[in-house]
Structure 1
């Protein structure tokens, strides 16, 4: 049953849960949604995932499994983490073959991974619970999704 009032009421409660949300339009949005769907297929119990533009820190597509997990609050900070790490690596002058691929943030019960996509303009952010997913599986799923 389609009841517009209830849909608006649910929207006031916070971000959509267990649904891929996207912004923008065109092929970039479609590609971001496809990546999130692939991540979900490989990691169905993930806490959250997003494809983020590095220049703006805005999510092209995102998914969360819990209203308490606010991706919009952390994506800007994660974007800055990627930018600062790129600057640090540039200062080391390691050479053109050494490029940032992935950043891992380890918490007591969660793993947060940030993986640059091949175009270098976007990154994939995934948060998983350590009790549901191991690091190797999460990394492999992210690696296969970027292609």
Structure 2
């Protein structure tokens, strides 16, 4: 039996795409994560986040220990700060941020701006389960 009050203490939902909000934006975010999961079934976690507000539109995690809510706000700020740094370089309008890669000993964390420039896709994978080229290609096709 699932009691909503106790679900707060159980941690994130695992192996299920969880949407936030409502309407077409939520449905689109869920489809993006479904596509990422189809290409990378060994995903540790994935999320679609609005860049301006930092609001999470949809998430997926394969482990309770991999708590996306703790990291997504920081990742939103990483994208914003990198955009500011690139603007300071004055490279011109043809140069736009596409992707940020964070490499750890056993994990790859990728942040890819979606074509509208208003949202980004976050994906975390284990280096032993996939490689960077596969992860990047799957993310590119999620758009």
TM range (shorter): over 0.9
Q: How far did residue 78 of structure 1 move?
A: 0.2
Matched with 1:82 is 79
- TM-score normalised by length of structure 1: 0.94
1 CA distance for matches of 2:51 and 2:81?
12
When the two structures are aligned, how many residues end up with a matched partner?
A: 143
Deviations, residues 93-113 of structure 1 (Å, cap 9, x unaligned): 001110000000000000000
Residue 47 of structure 2 is aligned to residue 30 of structure 1: no
Aligned to 1:132: 129
Given candidates 119, 137, 146, the residue that maps to 2:116 is 119
Q: CA deviation at 1:12?
A: 2.5
Structure 1 residue 4: Cα displacement:
3.6
Q: Which residues of structure 1 form unaligned runs of 5+?
A: none
Moved over 2 A (4+): 7-12
Structure 2 stretches lacking a partner, 5+ long: none
- Establish whether residue 91 from structure 1 lines up as the match of residue 109 from structure 2: no
CA RMSD of aligned residues (A): 1.2
